[in-house]
Every structure is written in C-alpha cells, then in structure tokens.
Structure 1
Amino acid sequence: MPSEEPHQIACHLDRLLADRGMTLTELADRVGLTIANVSILKNDRAKAIRFSTLSAICRELDCQPGDLLTFGSQS
C-alpha cells in the first residue's frame, strides 16, 4: 500500500474566529459539531470536510470557502 501523501490545504479558522471575536466553542455550537471535530479542522489535522459543514462554517463566519481554506504555501 503506498504511503499517504500529506495534504497541502491550510485552514485559517483560528484567524477567522479571532477576526470575528468568536470562540471555537461558540462556532461548534452554531454549526452543530463537537468541539473536538472543529479543533481537528482548526489545527490542520482534518483529512476531509463535508460540503454541509463547510457551508455552515462559512454561513456562521460570514466568509467564503477561500477565506477558510487555501492550497499550498499561501497564508
């Protein structure tokens, strides 16, 4: 079995939360996820995200998917 390549998608959830004065707990409650699952996304440990979850996060943070996720070395 070939080894899994690390992904190059960066999540900027911490920055968006800070910009909006929202806590991880508050976001988790608003989108109906556990704090643990939102934390996995925030810390770039997620391997996938459902479009419904992405939509809910973007709705609550009033952002676009490109504000939350970037590819490669973009910050």
Structure 2
Amino acid sequence: MEIVVRLDVVLALRKMKARDLAEQIGISEQNVSLLRTGKVKGIRFNTLARICEVLDCQPGDILEAVPAQDAKA
C-alpha cells in the first residue's frame, strides 16, 4: 500500500495556484511543491489541517491509499 498525494487535483478543482496556497497556510512554495509531487515522507497534522481549511476539503481528498502496483500507473 502506498499513499498518493492528490494536492494538484484539489488545487485545480479550486482554481488555486500553489503559490497562493503556500502564502495562505504559511509554508514555503518549495514545500508545497514537494507535497504536490509526493516527494515527502510525512506531513504534520497541523499543516494538513491548514491545507484542508484553505481548500475546504477533507484529508481524504488530498491523500489516497492505493495498492503498490496501482500507485505507479
């Protein structure tokens, strides 16, 4: 099982730029970029909560658990 980050999808649905999200939640654009590409090993719950608050979504809208074989597709 792997965790896939769907932040790009939620940002697109909200018509929001990563730069604007970074500014509103108080983290660097570089960290948002790392989140968007899934190149992080973890995320703090308070950061996830701020992202969800700004994007008006649930953590499950951003993070998805998928079988390892499906994550590469």
Cα deviation for residue 19 of structure 1 reads 0.5
Partner of 1:45: 39
Q: What amino acid sits opposite 1:55 in the alignment?
A: A
Q: 1:4-59 deviations in whole A, cap 9, x for unaligned?
A: xxx71101111100101100000000000000001001001010100000000000
- Alignment of 1:54 onto 2:28: no
Give the greater-gyration-radius structure (CA): 1
| Partner-residue secondary structure (3-state), 1:71 | strand
Q: What amino acid sits opposite 2:5 in the alignment?
A: C
Which runs of structure 1 show a deviation greater than 3 angstroms over 4 or more consecutive aligned residues?
Answer: none
Unaligned runs of 5+ in 1: 1-6
Q: TM-score, normalised by structure 1?
A: 0.86
From 46, 65, 71, the equivalent of 2:59 is: 65
Matched positions, count: 68
Percent same amino acid among aligned pairs?
44
From 13, 26, 30, the equivalent of 2:24 is: 30
Unaligned runs of 5+ in 2: none
